[in-house]
Amino acid sequence: MFMCPSMACLHRDQHEQWTRNQGNPRRSVRVFRCQLPRTNVFYSSEPPSRNNSDKPLCAGAALCHWCGTWKGDKICGGCKKSRYCSEKHQALHWRSGHKNDCLQIINSSEASSSVLPAVGKVPARTSWPEYQIAIDDEVDLDSDGCDEDSSKSLVMQKHGKPDDTMQSWMDQFEADADNQCWAYFQERISRAPEQVLRYCRDPNVKPLWALSAGRPSNPDIPSCSYCKGPLCYEFQIMPQLLYYFGVRNEPNSLDWATIVVYTCQETCDQNISYKEEFAWVQLYPTSISRP
């Protein structure tokens, strides 16, 4: 999953996804699927032993030494060690210090790997930090999005028997679908406050929406652009991820309610090529606008 760190681009995504443009929509959130058959040149066909003895069968993709992306097919003409995805990134890396490093590598009889940036520690300032994700199963998975009874019970548990003022407030709350959805969303994620991603491949399960507004209807979800079959919900990115990326709370800072990814239900065309899937961006109420 790739994303532009500009909030203006997310606003554009919010508009573009309603247009149902099946051609080449301008989206800043792009999701790509790459699957391997069980027998392949990269990994063993046997399940991992999980004793630290499992090793890839080859070195894997060459990464750009500036941005860390996987398409590092251009090689530095001097040291023959650094790789880049574009001439622009090669120039940026050169000006940032590789000019001196390159000379050291050339003049050294034994090139030290410590001279080059380690994989995952690229110098580009726009790169977000890397983390290891721990996987936990959620018990009693609820396939319904917003649950009215659940949101009402949250109010009752907190306040007990309501007086006239509280009853009036509750009536307004129950009439606002966004408030109900938000209350249920908050209660659900409170079971695991640090969750950054929710995953479920069951076609009957629905995303956990933060708001009632800004959700897609069935016609808003396109068909698979390769086999023309249906797409189904697979995973969603939670707003908590912004905290770990150190995004500041400023007017133009990156922000979202949730980003839901839909993938081909039949998992078509399983090979080593990348296939683009569909992402739906849900923003908070102040940002939601449907043409």
Mean pLDDT of 58-75: 79
CA dist., res. 86 & res. 16, Å (int)? 28
A 10 A CB-CB count for 98 gives: 26
DSSP 81: -
DSSP 80: S
User: What pairs with residue 276 in β-bridges?
Assistant: 32
Mean pLDDT of 155-168: 52
User: What pairs with residue 227 in β-bridges?
Assistant: none
What pTM does this model have?
A: 0.67
Q: What are the backbone angles phi and psi of residue 277, rounded to the nearest 5°?
A: -110, -170
Mean pLDDT of 171-191: 77
Domain boundary assignment for the chain: 2-37+176-282, 60-104
Among 29-33, 34-38, 100-104, the least confident range: 34-38
Look at residue 234 and tell me whether its pLDDT is greater than 90.
Answer: yes
CA dist., res. 277 & res. 2, Å (int)? 12
What three-state secondary structure class fits 282?
strand
pLDDT, tens digit, for every residue of 188-230? Answer: 888 888 899 999 888 888 899 998 888 898 888 988 888 889 9
Give the best-scoring range by mean pLDDT among 64-78, 135-149, 163-177: 64-78
CA dist., res. 165 & res. 67, Å (int)? 56
DSSP 287: G
Cα dihedral 48/49/50/51 (nearest 10):
-140
Write the DSSP string, 174-237.
Answer: HH-HHHHHHHHHHHHHTTSTT--EEE---TT-----S-STTPPPGGGSPPPTTT---EEEEEEE
Q: Which residues contact 246 (CB under 8 A, 6 or more apart)?
A: 129
CA dist., res. 214 & res. 209, Å (int)? 9
Say how many CA atoms lie within 13 Å of 76 toward its Cβ: 24
Q: Cα separations (Å) of 106 from 72, 79, 85, 118, 119? A: 20, 6, 22, 19, 21
